[in-house]
Amino acid sequence: MAETSTTTSFINGYSSIASLATDHLFTILLLLPMDSILSFAMTCKKFRYLATSDILWESVCRRDWGNTAVDALKSSFHDDEQRRLIPWIRLYKQVSRVDSVCCYKLAEPDPDLVLPVPRASHSLNFVSGCLVLFGGGYEGGRDLDDTWAVYIGNNSQNMLKWQKIQTGTPSGRFGHTCVVIENYLVLFGGINERGDRHSDTWLGQVSLHENLGISLSWQLLDVGSTSPPPRGAHAACCISSRKMVIHGGIGLNGVRLDDTWIIELSENRCYGTWHKIVSHPSPPARSGHSLTCISETQTILFGGRGLGYEVLNDIWVLHVTEGYSKWVQIFYELQNIPAGVSLPRVGHSATSIIGGRLLIHGGEDSLRHRKDDFWVLDISHISLEKMHPTRLNSKRMLANKWRRLTPEGYKPGCRSFHRACVDDSGRYLYVFGGMVDGLLQPAEPAGLRFDGELFLVELVLQL
């Protein structure tokens, strides 16, 4: 009798689900993770048709990747028919399992054109369809105050023509940070060639002109009487449409810092307000590390050089909501890491790519051995699961979430203190400069040299 009752209940429940309108089923499926949607598709023909439709999976991609990334991917197809036939379900699976990248050298072949000089510890941002390069350090500890820009648009693999922009401000520096908040650049701190640390905050806006000329206007942001102490070699990223977070760096007298600050811009972008985040525990003091935003409430910190000059490989998540901020360390297992491969690093780049994953490139270890490797840290489940921060401290959370990618195509050299940024799609990474091994000129101090190469890193997807 109980078995009959259970069967009847199941049949009635199934029929009630099957009788739901398609738009209601669509709404329900959008609440489910990928594996659950695929399981749902196996129940009957009606559900299979809906759960594997391109309309649903484009919506799933928008849910998990954001509208900006999906629109940018669609615009990379110049033909309307190609855009209509994008295999969204296959694309979603490939993004979640990406295992290789392809590199392309982006150098202007015309020797008469003026290019940015080699540098390291500069800033490189993708904003308003343009790459913007500012400042950095050069030979002899000199700082640079030049600004360069190049329009990318949807032509990610074309040879690029840099334009030098006359802005006059900010002053020359290296080890500063510059992040994109909506269509604005927010620059903070840095070190000049005299060793002075800065604590100024600048707001920049890029303008495109009809002839593809580019201009950039800077203004010193009014932040009132409260601001972080001067520093360089810190880390920063945006965490919402109006906020930027910074952490650590090298302060006065060469002391490494462990403090965390957030600035919130006013609605009219005329001023900003800094406040310090107090959280226990929190990441130890360090420099040369990375901060990467993975959602509007969560930021990932990785690596850097600690107080004892040791190179680190710890991971922390900063969880920020209205009136609440907390650092949580994420423990992970280093299984399946090939022998001889060193994961701890400083001076690397860590960029959020399509699919909510972290792409880490280059850097150097405690012996100053520079790297040319690419790693993906799969932290997508942290951003998708609305977990309370106190539950994040789990040794199982990031077990086996490191994956080394296989590079194809052009082979860029080992480097550290380069800079990298992704385009709006999150599929194309641009890398410029850094310090590289001075094998070609071994007489140079410390056996290193500054690099002026720009190359493109494409996530390999079979579209």
Q: Is residue 358 part of a domain?
A: yes
Q: For the whole model, what pTM was predicted?
A: 0.89
Same domain, 122 and 152: yes
Q: Is residue 185 part of a domain?
A: yes
**Final residue of a structural domain among 60, 85, 110:** 85
- Is residue 333 predicted with pLDDT exceeding 80? no
Same domain, 139 and 214: yes
Q: Structure tokens of 158?
A: 């074309």
Q: Is residue 24 part of a domain?
A: yes
What CATH number did the domain enclosing 176 receive? Answer: 2.120.10.80
Q: Is residue 4 part of a domain?
A: no
Tell me the average pLDDT across 143-151.
Answer: 93
Q: How far is CA 172 from CA 127, 138, 235, 242, in A?
A: 21, 11, 18, 26
Rounded mean pLDDT of the chain?
85
Same domain, 322 and 216: yes
Q: Is residue 72 part of a domain?
A: yes
- State the DSSP string of 412-433: PPPEES-EEEE-TTSSEEEEE-
- Number of domains making up the chain: 2
Same domain, 191 and 225: yes
- Confidence at residue 229, expressed as pLDDT on a 0 to 100 scale: 97
Residues 33, 39: Cα–Cα separation, whole Å: 10
Quick check: 192 and 171 in contact, CB under 8 A?
yes
Q: Is residue 11 part of a domain?
A: no
Domain span including residue 61: 19-85
- Confidence at residue 350, expressed as pLDDT on a 0 to 100 scale: 97
369-415: per-residue pLDDT in tens?
999 999 998 876 554 333 444 444 444 444 457 888 999 999 999 99
Q: Is residue 387 part of a domain?
A: no
Q: Is residue 2 part of a domain?
A: no
Same domain, 79 and 104: no
Same domain, 68 and 159: no
159-174: per-residue pLDDT in tens?
688 999 987 789 999 9
Secondary structure percentages of the chain, helix, strand, coil, to 5: 20, 35, 45
Same domain, 201 and 267: yes
